[in-house]
């Protein structure tokens, strides 16, 4: 998914900015991994913990009296880290072409820490949002909403790209460099996302594999809807003349974001007995 | 595999057509998913069913008296949908550069329905071809032969691209835009295909994992043969001067198509005791 | 991983050489598969065997008296072949732009045979290096060190590219054609590698899944270190002015190579009880 996202951003950026955007995505993972290893995992999933944050497992500390948890801790680190890296990467698209590389590196480190708190609130059994009954299957809140809020914040702070709206730089300079790359990135993200939502059932034991397959089905159906609507939208907007690859990609990605939280709860129309999942705590 | 296929087609298309081809591949999946969800899955795998088509499970209908099948239905929907989408996507390569986008969308919807009937005939236990003893492990018939037949049909109907053979447009206008993309797409398809053939054992329970591994081995060996022959062919055709990336890609893809139906039955020369699979119903 | 590696090499090569490099990667797999099927697997994993080489299972021969091993032999063929192909592909980068295609094909076949001997020495239970106590979890020795040694050998034999150092060809002719492709290839390799190291536990049965997760964690942490150091290096070398995509990619890939042998033994600082793996023979 990181590859697909990098490709999509690279294609959307104006000519001359592609390499810098890919480098930002690379250091997103690098500094995200450092931050998540050192503090993030402990904040989200450490034990002991209170409703606000975890207090253990910093630096993946596994003491000798709980070594039998090694496998569980390590596997959840790998899976949870992929969430954390996704969350920070969202902002790289927002600040593309208008943020210094060094500042972005600092941000990557910092954003993982912010993410870690919110993930604890929503997903840890004693997080305060979880206690209030919040249900988020695969991360619409801690991943997508948080990423989008950070991105909006960054945009408001940085202001528009120089010359973008005051007419001093011709509009062609801001055109996406490669619609082909946008669509290729879309494909990689799309299939990755289906796997991501399926994988969020945290296993295939017991009845969980049913939840995983339902998440896959609703994700596929959701993008069918998002893609159809994007087609209608781009046709009307461009008066039936041409399709805009960006608008299509955004329609499909929007539907993927929208289904992420609920992909295991909603059911395809008519698949009524899908309600079985209520029995297994999802 | 959709990503790889899109990349390969994009690289094969003449300059200026790349974005439209990727968009066709995107809507292939979108309208294919709609059609498969609404009708295709029911036609192929619905119950009750007769030897011609299934009569239930339209719109993934799971009634409350068979809710215990939810997981099986959902997981087979995801897997079978990937077959259906592959089948329709084959035609997008055939009609590249000479079909209106709107017509292609209609086709995507329609092609999935056609596919659904053939898949029922071959793979459902009471399909009439299955009853006659047809064996197709991973879809050479319903996927590749059907896709190729649709494509041939479409080509005959549409005729050649304007100026392709009457000399009014210079030949350079029809040259593939990017042999690099062809070969990169080939790689993605290749490895995806090995996984696809392995996965067609529908599970790794019991002796099925042996069938899965055999499918992987024969697929690898098959492409070794296809690639070697393609090298000899392109060398002779071009008089030893240069290699043609398209011809190499077609040789390897041809060998992948050829092994798909039988990848679980044939055995590598000398791996005689591979005959064990006859005992487990494949 | 082959896709990622091809992409990375393609981006690193000078303009005009991209297609030939991808073709070399394609025939790497084709002739590698032929060689590994015919001789390589037998040399590495055949039985009976002595400390120098295996003496059976050439051409994947499974005789009727050991047909119950079919699944094990076939699955290890698929997994081991991916190692063998990786090993030979390393050299394609070393000899890029200065080796005839036909010679490279011969090399691919030959290199797999060389690899097969070394793999037997290190990984077969009676290989002489294994008997001496060599431990190599995921192939730093037989894959990366052997590939690098072959590559160095080839470089010394071939000499530098014409005009590279004598000033007869302008330096721009040797510039990487596409830093974007280098970074995109890096992403594909990176995530593939994490999976590769995890998968090298040869299964998730018993306590092996713990080893697999540990390999994933150490691989992620290792690249965080490699990436950070590469950033410092490229900043100092270029006097803080610009980042060099190649140097960043090499830093991260170097850290991946470095962790490959030991990814299941070392533990993240503080994860002390990770020592549990000593109990399960790794």
Alpha-carbon Rg for chain B, nearest whole angstrom, is 20
Which residue, among A241, A95, A242, A246, has the nearest Cα to A181 in the 3D structure?
A246
Q: Tens of pLDDT along A147-162? A: 999 999 999 998 888 7
Say what the pTM is: 0.84
Alpha-carbon Rg for chain A, nearest whole angstrom, is 20
CA distances to A32, A85, A130, A205, A210 from A264, rounded to whole Å, are 28, 22, 17, 16, 9
- Rounded Cα distance between B88 and C151, Å, is 44
- Rounded Cα distance between B22 and A182, Å, is 10
Least trusted range by pLDDT, from A83-97, A249-263, B23-37: A83-97
- CATH architecture for segment(s) B1-177: Orthogonal Bundle (1.10)
Report yes or no for ipTM above 0.90. Answer: no
Å from C250 to nearest chain A CA?
12
Q: Which residue has the higher pLDDT, A168 or B116?
A: B116
Å from A209 to nearest chain B CA?
7
For all residues of chain C together, what is the average pLDDT?
Answer: 82
* Stretch A131-136: mean pLDDT: 86
- Asked if pLDDT for residue A268 goes beyond 90, the answer is no
Residue A214 pLDDT level (bands cut at 50, 70, 90): confident
Determine the residue of chain C that is closest to A17 in CA distance.
C180
Least trusted range by pLDDT, from A22-36, A60-74, A93-107, B11-25: A60-74
Cβ-contact B100, B154 below 8 angstroms = no
- Asked if pLDDT for residue A35 goes beyond 90, the answer is yes
The one-character DSSP state at B125 is: T
| Contact flag B210-C74 (C-beta cutoff 8 Å) | yes
The structure tokens listed for B273 are 């005791």
| Window A:58-87, CB contacts with B under 8 Å | none
Residue A118 pLDDT level (bands cut at 50, 70, 90): very high
Q: Which residue has the higher pLDDT, C138 or A183?
A: A183
Cβ-contact A262, A137 below 8 angstroms = yes
Q: What length does chain C have? A: 282
| Contact flag A274-B6 (C-beta cutoff 8 Å) | no
* Stretch A114-126: mean pLDDT: 92
Indicate the burial class of C122 (C-beta count within 10 angstroms; 0-12, 13-18, 19 or more): buried
- Asked if pLDDT for residue A256 goes beyond 60, the answer is yes
- Rounded Cα distance between B247 and B212, Å, is 29
- Asked if pLDDT for residue A227 goes beyond 90, the answer is yes
pLDDT at residue B72, as a whole number: 79
Interface residue of A3, A8, A183, A240 to substitute, partner B, most B CBs within 10 Å: A183
- Return the residue matching tokens 């998002």: A226
Residue A135 pLDDT level (bands cut at 50, 70, 90): confident
Q: Answer whether the bond into residue A37 is a cis peptide, omega within 30°.
A: no
| Window A:152-171, CB contacts with C under 8 Å | none
Cβ-contact C40, C112 below 8 angstroms = yes
pLDDT at residue C206, as a whole number: 56
Determine the residue of chain B that is closest to C27 in CA distance.
B227
* Stretch C249-278: mean pLDDT: 70
Domain boundaries, chain A: 1-177, 183-282
Q: Which residue has the higher pLDDT, A157 or C205?
A: A157
Give the best-scoring range by mean pLDDT among B7-16, B20-29, B93-102.
B20-29
* Stretch C254-282: mean pLDDT: 62
- Asked if pLDDT for residue B58 goes beyond 90, the answer is no
Strand partners, A141: none
- Rounded Cα distance between C202 and C59, Å, is 23
C2, C25, C30 ranked by CB distance to B224: nearest: C30
- Asked if pLDDT for residue A17 goes beyond 90, the answer is no
Residue C229 pLDDT level (bands cut at 50, 70, 90): very high
Å from B122 to nearest chain C CA?
27
Residues contacting residue B144 through CB under 8 Å, at least 6 positions apart = B87, B90, B257, B260
| Contact flag A248-B59 (C-beta cutoff 8 Å) | no
| Contact flag B220-C75 (C-beta cutoff 8 Å) | no
Residue A267 pLDDT level (bands cut at 50, 70, 90): low
| Contact flag A179-B19 (C-beta cutoff 8 Å) | yes
Which residue, among C252, C254, C273, C277, has the nearest Cα to C264 in the 3D structure?
C277
Alpha helical stretches, state H, chain A: 2-12, 18-35, 41-45, 70-94, 101-123, 128-131, 146-158, 179-199, 208-237, 245-260
B204 close contact with C: CB closer than 8 A: no
Cβ-contact A31, A212 below 8 angstroms = no
Give the best-scoring range by mean pLDDT among A200-204, A257-261, B93-97.
A257-261
Q: Answer whether the bond into residue A48 is a cis peptide, omega within 30°.
A: yes
Q: Which pairs with CB-CB distance under 8 Å and at least 24 residues apart come from B245-248?
A: B245/B176, B245/B179, B245/B182, B245/B183, B245/C19, B245/C22, B245/C23, B246/B12, B246/B176, B246/B179, B246/B182, B248/B183, B248/B186, B248/C23, B248/C26
Query: Cα-flanking dihedrals φ and ψ of residue B49, to 5°?
Result: -150, 155
- Asked if pLDDT for residue B114 goes beyond 90, the answer is yes
Q: Tens of pLDDT along A73-113? A: 888 888 888 888 888 888 888 887 788 888 899 988 999 99
Q: How many CB atoms lie within 10 A of CB A101?
A: 14
- Rounded Cα distance between C207 and C219, Å, is 19
* Stretch B20-43: mean pLDDT: 90
The structure tokens listed for C34 are 């032929």
Å from B128 to nearest chain C CA?
32
A6, A67, A77 ranked by CB distance to C184: nearest: A6
Cβ-contact A39, A31 below 8 angstroms = no
Residue B241 pLDDT level (bands cut at 50, 70, 90): confident
Cβ-contact A107, A91 below 8 angstroms = yes
Buried b or exposed e, range C20-58, using 16+ CB within 10 angstroms: bbbbbbbbbbbbbbbbbbbbbbbbbbbeebeeebbeebb
pLDDT at residue B31, as a whole number: 92
- Asked if pLDDT for residue C273 goes beyond 50, the answer is no
The structure tokens listed for A122 are 């929503």
Residue C112 pLDDT level (bands cut at 50, 70, 90): very high
Least trusted range by pLDDT, from A99-108, A210-219, B102-111: A210-219
Which residue, among A253, A258, A2, has the nearest Cα to A145 in the 3D structure?
A258
Q: Which pairs with CB-CB distance under 8 Å and at least 24 residues apart come from A128-134?
A: A128/A51, A128/A52, A131/A51
Cβ-contact A176, A10 below 8 angstroms = no
Å from A91 to nearest chain C CA?
18
Which residue, among B16, B1, B45, has the nearest Cα to B187 in the 3D structure?
B1
For all residues of chain B together, what is the average pLDDT?
Answer: 82
Indicate the burial class of A28 (C-beta count within 10 angstroms; 0-12, 13-18, 19 or more): buried
pLDDT at residue A276, as a whole number: 41
| Contact flag C74-B216 (C-beta cutoff 8 Å) | yes
Which residue, among A102, A101, A106, A54, has the nearest Cα to A80 in the 3D structure?
A54
- Asked if pLDDT for residue A280 goes beyond 50, the answer is no
Query: Cα-flanking dihedrals φ and ψ of residue B243, to 5°?
Result: -95, 145
- Asked if pLDDT for residue A207 goes beyond 70, the answer is no
- Asked if pLDDT for residue A41 goes beyond 80, the answer is yes
Q: How many CB atoms lie within 10 A of CB C59?
A: 15
Strand partners, A54: A49
* Stretch B87-108: mean pLDDT: 86
Q: Which residue has the higher pLDDT, B153 or C214?
A: B153
Residue B281 pLDDT level (bands cut at 50, 70, 90): very low
Counting residues of chain B whose pLDDT is more than 90, the rounded percentage is 22
CA distances to A100, B25, C224 from C251, rounded to whole Å, are 21, 36, 10
- Rounded Cα distance between B140 and B118, Å, is 12
pLDDT at residue B272, as a whole number: 44
Determine the residue of chain A that is closest to C181 in CA distance.
A19
Strand partners, A49: A54
- Rounded Cα distance between A95 and B187, Å, is 33
| Contact flag B274-C27 (C-beta cutoff 8 Å) | no
**Neighbors of chain C by Cβ distance (3+ pairs < 8 Å):** A, B
């Amino acid at each position: 998914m990181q590859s697909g996202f990098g490709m999509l951003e690279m294609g959307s950026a104006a000519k001359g900015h592609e390499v810098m955007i890919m480098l930002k995505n690379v250091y997103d993972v690098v500094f995200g991994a450092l931050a998540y290893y050192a503090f993030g995992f402990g904040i989200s999933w450490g034990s002991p913990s209170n409703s606000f944050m975890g207090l253990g497992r910093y630096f993946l500390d596994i003491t000798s009296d709980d070594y039998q948890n090694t496998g569980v801790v390590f596997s959840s680190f790998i899976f949870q880290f992929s969430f954390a890296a996704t969350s920070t990467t969202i902002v790289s698209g927002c600040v593309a072409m208008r943020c210094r590389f060094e500042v972005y590196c600092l941000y990557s480190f910092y954003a993982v820490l912010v993410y870690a708190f919110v993930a604890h609130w929503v997903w840890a059994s004693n997080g305060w949002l979880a206690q209030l009954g919040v249900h988020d299957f695969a991360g619409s809140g801690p991943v997508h909403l948080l990423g989008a809020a950070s991105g909006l914040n960054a945009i408001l702070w940085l202001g528009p790209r120089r010359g973008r709206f005051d007419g001093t730089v011709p509009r062609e300079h801001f055109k996406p460099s490669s619609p082909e790359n946008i669509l290729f990135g879309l494909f990689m993200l799309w299939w990755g996302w289906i796997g991501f939502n399926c994988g969020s059932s945290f296993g295939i034991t017991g009845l969980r594999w049913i939840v995983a397959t339902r998440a896959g089905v609703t994700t596929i159906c959701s993008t069918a809807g998002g893609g159809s609507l994007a087609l209608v939208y781009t046709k009307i907007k461009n008066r039936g003349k041409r399709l805009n690859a960006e608008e299509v990609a955004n329609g499909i990605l929007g539907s993927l974001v929208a289904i992420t939280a609920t992909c295991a709860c909603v059911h395809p129309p008519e698949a009524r007995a899908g309600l079985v999942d209520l029995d297994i705590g999802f």
